[in-house]
Structure 1
Amino acid sequence: MYLTDRSAAPAADTGPGRRRGLRPGVTPVVLVLGTVSLITDISSEMVTAVLPLYLVTTLGFSPLAFGTLDGVYNGVSALVQLTGGHLADRVRNHKLLAGLGYGLSALCKPLLLLAGSIGTLGTVLALDRTGKGLRTAPRDAMISLSTPIAHQGRAFGVHRAMDTTGAMLGPLAAFLILSAAADGYDAVFGVSACVAVLGVIVLVLFVPGRRRDPPTDTTDMTGEAGGTGEAGEAGGSGARPPVRVREALALLRLPQLRALACCAALLGLTTVSDAFVYLLLQRRAGIGEEWFTLLPLGTAVVFLLLAVPVGALADRIGRHIVFLAGHLGLLTAYALLLWAPATPLLVPLVLALHGTFYAATDGVLPAALAGIVPEHLRASGLAIVGTSQALARFCCSLGFGAAWTMWGDGPALAGSAVGLLCCAAVAGLVLRPARRIRRPPPQPDEQQGPT
């Protein structure tokens, strides 16, 4: 099983990514969706930045209870991604499903003001992640289908950079609100709800609506691609029947997609959630609680700076190489948290590696699917791979929280580091590029055969 991470498609250069005034692979759809994600991430990261400290310090949750909620926060969206991706392909309206997801998440933000128990918080977070699960695959499908195959890494890099700008501004806004407001957490949740509504408005007004059916599908089930998504959709006259569940599940017959989904899940099983990384870094470096909300800001700055160049690099040298290199960077961050002395350099080094990990994986993973999944099943394919990764991270959150509670944070992180090293080695074997053995042409005497 091998991952096809580069595709030669000459026609792609004449697609929408070549419009005047835009760099290759950066279409208006990418920019508008990036703006929506930027606004929405300000809202989401305001909550994410304060949630670990709010639950552990203010409400007194144990690491196991927090790990359970964090697992719910990430795991529910994984299950819903399959539904969102399939429905988007079935109704052929990615904007509709994405809008429903963004709207549901916006409605959940003010409900955090009323939640005080683990059951209520779990319900609200599950609904919020349901919205994220509904919107993720349709949104990424719109990006992928509007972008030439050769520039998928760059396009997703631009989107993730704009998304990360919001992730950078969200913790900063939360820090300023906590510093100025008397009821800081309530103020953070209220402002977050207002910002989330703004993101929904931008999506409704500026993102193009229903996409037209392509006259032919130039991507077959073997992963060979020729079209450029929306460029091939204009002028289609034949309507494709609704996508059935059986047709979406048949994507698992593609060896390349199976390999990618399995490796994403394998690596996700040992990827400690961001919240735990920040809690470990705070304890290891002795950071005061008032500065805790700024830790995600460091990750976001590095992600923002590297998302586009790393995405473009993945287009050139191979997306599987960059994807695995990002996990090795995360492994180095684990090692620093375990064994490095508590010097002033520890915090920037760990945050730099953490941001590099996201720059090398978050947009590169969906970009790798462009040459594998047919256009009319693109959202379903993205959902399958995204779900496998998110479910694995859900299990990691539960396991890491339980290990921390029973044995302490050091042994728990050491176990994750050893597991990540083993999983990265296996993934490197599975995703390695196929090596074609060139046999020399037969000599004249060999062509004549034995005498």
Structure 2
Amino acid sequence: MKYISKTVLVLSLVSLFTDIASEMLYPVLPIYLKSIGYSILFIGILEGITEVVSGYGKGYFGHLSDVTGKRVPFVRFGYALSAISKPLLSISQVPFVVLVSRILDRIGKGVRTGARDAILSSEATNKTKARVFGFHRAMDTLGAVIGPSFALVYLYSHPNDYIFLFYLAFLPGLIAIGFTFLLKEKKDQPIQRNLTKQNNSLFNFLSYWKKSNPNYRKLVVGLLVFAFWNSSDVFLILKSKEAGLDDHLVIGIYIFYNLVYAVFAYPLGVIADKIGLKTMFLLGLGIYAIVYLLMGFVQSSVLILLAFFLYGLYAAATEGISKAWVSNSIPRSETATAIGMYTGLQSICAFFASIVAGWLWFLFGAPVTFIVTGVFAVLVFLYFFFIKIEEVSNI
């Protein structure tokens, strides 16, 4: 743990408490929306719209962070927005109010993501980034264990009482905001000298694609093709529900998935620093393909549990690894823009992924949805297997 600085620890605690708040609601929200009459297609559209908003924010504010040379204000404001979005879900069941709450949460994610990941990247070298990002993901995902666990206990004693749960989710969000005030801005923060605030138009961050190096573009193309077919985890939750599992068991399995993710994220990050980021990412992608092909046919609760265990391994082997890989492909002064643009376009692809998944499910059922996704994951695996991506000096 000698590679984990105070700044990385503080950011990880911020993410921990934010995820406790978010994940208290995430596995409950699709069940809640279905209980008040919303269709799976509407849920898919809702998730897609919020991902587009988040995606734009990641690109724009990541670019703005590099241009201004500031990180902490973006992190602080982004987490604050996500915190205040939680109580809004309790106000009304009207689709517009639900949408506003989810959009505020995703705007907050967009504001903070590029700047936060740039801070994490600056706290590591090319040879230690996987473990630093892995540690952050482990703490973040630990919140995804604690949050749903609390929701499970609460709903067990208060069945179907979702509204008060939305209020409770505000509390850990406040704690997260408090931790952001322990962060300090680095005085030697590099700035993109070739860009100015005046040139920072609403979509100027997209111009980074032409300015970026070929290695970044090759990497991001593959990641985005995968993202286009990697629909929201909501569909895995709904598949478990369709297989006959009750609400408590569905939430319990989701908690189990996040526990696996949290436990393995840091160790797999350490291993990735030794064997290579590409090798670890390919391993995770192969596991993902197996999970989705399996979920196309599974009906047994035991096999669903196995699928979620493997899904946790996939997440641990790819989520933090992909950001470390991206940050190693570009100069340090471009980190927030590069990661912001990648994660932004990733979110936009997730919009289409959720729409397509909802459409496939609506027309052909769950098996086709999961099998098609699994096949495309195999194709992306082959793409990464054959291409070569070089690293740049972390300067």
Regarding TM over 0.5, the answer is yes
Displacement of 1:296: 1.8
**Within 1, Cα distance between the matches of 2:251 and 2:130?**
30
| Cα gap change, 1:317 to 1:166, in 2 (>3 Å) | same
Aligned to 2:81: 104
| TM-fit CA distance, 1:419 | 2.2
Q: Equivalent residue for 2:36?
A: 59
State the shift of 1:353 in Å.
1.1
Aligned position for 2:148: 171
Aligned to 1:356: 313
Match of 1:338 in 2: 296
Unaligned runs of 5+ in 2: none
Residue of structure 2 in register with 1:275 after alignment? 234
Equivalent in 24, 27, 33 of residue 5 of structure 2: 27
SS of 1:149's partner is coil
Residue number among 345, 349, 354 corresponding to 1:397 in the alignment? 354
Tell me the equivalent position of 1:420. Answer: 377
Deviates more, 1:419-428 or 1:393-402: 419-428
Cα pair 1:101 1:132 within 8 Å, conserved: yes
Does the alignment pair 1:117 with 2:76?
no
Contact 2:27/2:237, CA 8 A, preserved across alignment: no
User: How many pairs does the alignment contain?
Assistant: 386
Contact preservation (8 Å) 1:261, 1:389: no
Q: Which amino acid aligns with 1:328?
A: G
Q: Letter of the aligned partner of 1:333 in structure 2? A: V
Shift of 1:240: 9.6
| Over 4 Å off, 4+ runs | 239-248, 431-434
Q: What's the CA shift for 1:122?
A: 1.5
Instruction: Go from structure 1 to structure 2 and tell me whether the alpha carbon gap of 1:433 and 1:89 turns closer, same or farther (over 3 Å shift).
Output: closer
| Counterpart position of 2:277 | 319
1:65 and 1:248 mapped to 2: Cα distance?
29
Relative to structure 1, is the Cα distance of residues 263 and 274 closer, same or farther in structure 2, using a 3 angstrom cutoff?
same
Q: Is the 8 A contact 2:245 2:301 kept in 1?
A: no
- Give me the whole-angstrom Cα distance separating, in 1, the residues matched to 2:232 and 2:205: 33
* SS in structure 1 of the partner of residue 93 of structure 2: coil
1:207 aligns with 2:187: no
Q: TM-score, normalised by structure 2?
A: 0.91
Match of 1:373 in 2: 330
Please say if residues 314 and 322 of structure 1, whose CA atoms lie closer than 8 Å, have aligned partners that are also in contact: yes
Q: Which moved more, 1:37-46 or 1:309-318?
A: 309-318
Out of 110, 119, 134, the position equivalent to 1:142 is 119
Checking the alignment, whether the CA contact within 8 Å between 1:42 and 1:166 is kept in structure 2 is: yes
Structure 2 residue 7 is the aligned partner of structure 1 residue 49: no
Superposition deviation, residue 432 in structure 1: 6.3
How far is the alpha carbon of 1:433 from its aligned partner? 7.0
Give the C-alpha shift of residue 183 in structure 1: 6.2
Match of 1:154 in 2: 131
TM-score when scaled to structure 1?
Answer: 0.81
Note closer, same or farther for the CA distance 1:369–1:160 as it changes in structure 2 (3 Å cut).
Answer: same
Distance in 2, matches of 1:83 and 1:433, equals 26
Answer yes or no: is the 8 Å Cα contact 2:17–2:173 preserved in 1.
yes
CA contact (8 A) 1:373 1:381 kept: yes
What is the letter of the counterpart of residue 188 of structure 2?
A: D
Would you say 1:255 and 2:232 are equivalent positions?
A: no
Measure, in 2, the Cα distance between the counterparts of 1:420 and 1:306: 22
Deviation at 1:254, TM superposition (A): 0.6
For residues 412 and 322 of structure 1, what CA distance do their matches in structure 2 show?
26
**What letter matches 2:110 in structure 1?**
G
Per-residue deviation at 1:386?
A: 1.0
Of 40-49 and 73-82, more deviation after overlay is shown by 73-82
Report the 3-state secondary structure (helix = DSSP H, G, I; strand = E; otherwise coil) of the residue aligned with 2:28: helix
Contact 1:329–1:356, Cα closer than 8 Å, also in 2: yes
Rg larger for:
1
Aligned residue for 2:329, secondary structure, equals coil
Indicate the residue corresponding to 1:189 in structure 2: 166
Deviations 1:40-81 (A, max 9, x none): 10000011020010011x111111111101112323211110
Q: Corresponding residue for 1:388?
A: 345
- Whether contact under 8 Å (1:264, 1:388) holds in the other structure is no
Structure 1 residues 276, 431: CA separation in 2 closer, same or farther (over 3 Å shift)?
Answer: farther
Q: Is residue 38 of structure 1 aligned with residue 13 of structure 2?
A: no
Is the Cα contact below 8 Å between 1:101 and 1:133 reproduced in 2? yes
Q: Which amino acid aligns with 2:187?
A: R
Is 1:429 matched up with 2:394?
no
CA distance in 1, matches of 2:143, 2:51: 19
**CA contact 1:260–1:431 (8 Å) conserved in 2:** no
Distance 1:385 1:172 in 2: 32
Name the Cα RMSD after superposition: 2.3
Offset at residue 370 of structure 1 (A): 3.1
- Unaligned 5+ residue runs, structure 1? 1-21, 222-238, 435-451
Deviations 1:258-282 (A, max 9, x none): 1121111101112131110121123
Residue number in structure 2 paired with 1:407: 364
Once the two structures are TM-superposed, the CA of residue 394 in structure 1 deviates from its matched residue by 1.4
The 1:193/1:397 distance shift into structure 2, 3 A limit, reads same
Separation of aligned partners in 2, 1:100 and 1:88: 13
